[in-house]
Structure 1
Amino acid sequence: MYRFLIVLVLCAALAPIVPLWVEHQNNQTSETAAATSNASSETGERRHRISANRSGQFVADVHLNGHMHEMLVDTGASATVLPVSVARIVGIFPANDDFKLRVSTANGTTYGARAVIDRLQIGRINLRNIEALVLQDSSLSIPLLGMTALNKLDRFDISNGTLVLIQ
């Protein structure tokens, strides 16, 4: 009985301290992030961090020719790929005759059209003239940010569930 009472008193004594400790930890994390951000701005680097979603995928909000779209960052995709519906929104209008490039996807073989994305912005990172492919919507549900864009970066790193793009 006394042990229970001692544990109860100890918990009651620590209860006001726990929120202060959590706030202190958050402040230290913010200061570390700010120091990292300052270090990258001092070196002229632009960085953008993307946390993995529950499926372990990296999905980012990307501006394509000024229009924001969610894109799946896919280091296994050799090209940046847009569904035709997204391509049209961002000002890319392939003709039916343009879909002649044979493409192997996870869903099988299809035909794509070559395109160029004039401007791609993700966070503070700005890329220009990104070679892309346009596929029919039935072949691709979400745009892919592939290696034709990622190769224009200085580098990218993946660790601890975070993808860091560096320009």
Structure 2
Amino acid sequence: MIRFAVILLVFLALAPLVPILVEKRLGSQDTPRVDSGLKVDDTADTGERIYRISRNGAGHFVAEARLNGTFVDMLVDTGATVTVLPESVAEDIGIFLSESDFTIPIRTANGTARGARTVIDGLRLGDIRLDDIDALVLKDVSLGQPLLGMSVLNRLERFDMSGGTLVLVQ
């Protein structure tokens, strides 16, 4: 009987400590989730610039870029060696080419086309800033949507995909 009384007294003595222990245990589990939600603040300390792109309904990553000051939706294409613009988009951002500029043979999904080399003066993706981007321009019939290719992605510190989000880091 005395043994049960001693055990009961030990439990009564420890009872006030249970909420503190539970709070510490749950608090330590919650902390990583809170920290991971504050990646923007974390990057401010490291100086990294991050741009996140969610996968659209078709399963593609479409970036809202700013080319030479003009907003352009661009399909991210890691299979494109360079960034590629339809001629109409190139003209919208101030790049004007003549017929004689279209001399580079390009293999596309629709066959072979002729492209023209150019340079995009400035490209912005959120806080990411790049200048002097090598690009190609194709006639509108050969390319429907601008492609954000490896001439941009290779100039970033890294890019990776996780959970339906493409993360670009400068």
Instruction: Specify the TM-score bucket, using the shorter chain as the normaliser.
Output: 0.7 to 0.9
Shift in Å, 1:85:
0.2
Shift in Å, 1:75:
0.8
Give the secondary-structure state (helix, strand or coil) at the position aligned to 1:137: coil
Give the secondary-structure state (helix, strand or coil) at the position aligned to 2:156: coil
Structure 1, unaligned runs of 5 or more: 1-27
Instruction: Note if 1:118 corresponds to 2:121.
Output: yes
Which of the pair has more CA radius of gyration?
2
Instruction: Note if 1:144 corresponds to 2:147.
Output: yes
Give the secondary-structure state (helix, strand or coil) at the position aligned to 2:168: strand
Structure 2, unaligned runs of 5 or more: 1-30
Give the secondary-structure state (helix, strand or coil) at the position aligned to 2:141: helix
Give the secondary-structure state (helix, strand or coil) at the position aligned to 1:39: helix
Q: 1 CA distance for matches of 2:53 and 2:36?
A: 14
Give the secondary-structure state (helix, strand or coil) at the position aligned to 1:110: strand
Q: How does 1:1-167 map to 2 (within 5 A)?
A: 31-32=34-35, 34-167=37-170
Q: Deviations over 1:71-115 (max 9, x none)?
A: 001111111000000000101111110000000011111000000
Shift in Å, 1:41:
1.1
1:7 corresponds to which residue?
none
Q: 1 CA distance for matches of 2:85 and 2:167?
A: 22
In the alignment of these two chains, the number of paired residues is 139
TM-score, with structure 1 as normaliser = 0.80
Shift in Å, 1:165:
0.2
Q: 1 CA distance for matches of 2:43 and 2:71?
A: 25
Q: 2 CA distance for matches of 1:32 and 1:95?
A: 53
Shift in Å, 1:34:
5.0
The one-letter amino acid paired with 2:88 is S
Q: 1 CA distance for matches of 2:156 and 2:115?
A: 25
Give the secondary-structure state (helix, strand or coil) at the position aligned to 1:138: coil
Q: 2 CA distance for matches of 1:48 and 1:33?
A: 16
Shift in Å, 1:33:
5.8
| Identical columns (%) | 54
2:3 corresponds to which residue?
none
The one-letter amino acid paired with 1:84 is E
Q: 2 CA distance for matches of 1:58 and 1:123?
A: 15
Q: 1 CA distance for matches of 2:150 and 2:166?
A: 14
